[in-house]
Structure 1
Amino acid sequence: MKRQNRLWGTLLLGAVVLAGWIAFTGANRTSPRAAADAETMLRAADRLYPSGYAATVQHSGPYLNAKGDAAFASLGDGMAARFGLPASKPVRDANGHPVYRASGESPSVAGAKLEVALSGWADGTTNLIVRLDAPEGTEKDKLLAWTADAAARLEPAGVQPKWMITLRGGAGALSDASLKALKAKVAGAFKADPAESYSDSGSEIISYTSRLLGTGVRSAGGTINLQAAFHRDSVYGTYKLTIATPLIVAEP
């Protein structure tokens, strides 16, 4: 079981690295397109998760330069304030880079955790993450309203959100035929064609090119717009389904 969990984490991280995380912050992505992709994902989710799903909505991208610790802390405090989060104090990671993290509950999505994180580099460049983790059962309209509100908070700061949407939920006990049907259902819901896959005895990640999703990253197999992960619990034999655009967001 532990080996499967380690491999599962490795597969998710490997998929992000292979597809090129930096490519995601490149050209040809706009806030309207990202918002449209979020709506496509959440509208399809009802057909794929009959028992509900948990959702992660995340933006990650470059932010303003900050020369010195005081400027970095000020950037973090300013972004935390935009989202109504209490100010925090920067710390240093293992490589000595400054990291700022502020978190709390979302006032508009019940039970959801909201986090603002800023990481800095020696040359003063920074990267901003804004992340909402919503519990299973959260209404899709509330998630869509949150993305619109978050965009309105980010855009005055010069940030055009690039939303990554990750959904997770149970798929029940599946026979080989049922698992095959579920994979076909995922592909059909997004008009998607498989481009790459990774698997072991209990887990499989499939990367797709989707004709319904606009946000994408480059990889060896082409442009990836969608990932789906099928994970079988080795004890109970039930499956969990994770879908994401453009890539599965690793757990915090």
Structure 2
Amino acid sequence: MTEPQSSGTTLRTLTRGLEVLETIAAADGTMTAKAIARTLDLNLGTCYHILKTLQQDEFVIRLRNGAYVVGARAARLSKTVNLHTRPEPALSALLVGLNQKTRETVYISGWYHGVVTLQEWIAGSHILSVGNLDVGYSGYLHTRASCKAILAHLPSTRVEAMLPPESFVPVTPNSITDFDAFAQELVTVKKNGFAVDNEEFEIGVSCIAAPFFDEYRNPVGAFAVSAPTTRFAKEMHVLAIHVRDAADRATAYLRTEATGATVTPLDNHRLA
């Protein structure tokens, strides 16, 4: 049976509405309707119509200066995402420690419904903006160090199933754009014990990540540290030490919790 012709238009309108909502959330009260329309290349009339609908349904709020912020209903959605993707308190504590040691922006990612998802992040002492990377983000697996760190320890067939050819979007000129090159990259990642994003997700920003494992040696998450590329190049060796230490401690914790036997970070290397 052929779907009604209007369904495509309806879905496109929904997509545009979500894009507007995402743009408002990222701008944090700095964008007016005209700025949103310009950013998304939307007709101004269409943008006003979407904003009016979002405002009526309490997904956004219009401020006195004409800018928009996220409303109560959108905030509840964000709270739900945070609640369901939040890492264990012990892992969050390790993330805090990693942030204090490096003074850089740090992240922890893990599985959420079969997808590697950003679970928590802490800003560094230096201002660093990395695209729309926030809690719940799960896009562009082939460009993110945390994803590469985890995928390197999965069977190649599973990785290939997760990343069909159309997944390899050139987010930046440095992004890997085919599976064979990506598979070779994962071999290097597994050998080194850490993964690097060399401006593959955002120009000017580099990242390093290390995976942690459960009691069955399955990769269940990764810690990551990002920094401006100029500083990253100078500090990469030290950042690698700290991010691997956090990952080793996470693995030791998870194995101890699961088995009841005390496992130290040093034991992880003996068991690996």
TM-score by length of structure 2 reads 0.23
> Which structure: greater strand fraction?
1
Question: Which of structures 1 and 2 has the larger relative contact order (alpha carbons within 8 angstroms, sep 6+)?
Answer: 1
> Which structure: greater helix fraction?
2
Question: Radius of gyration: which is bigger?
Answer: 2
TM-score by length of structure 1 reads 0.24
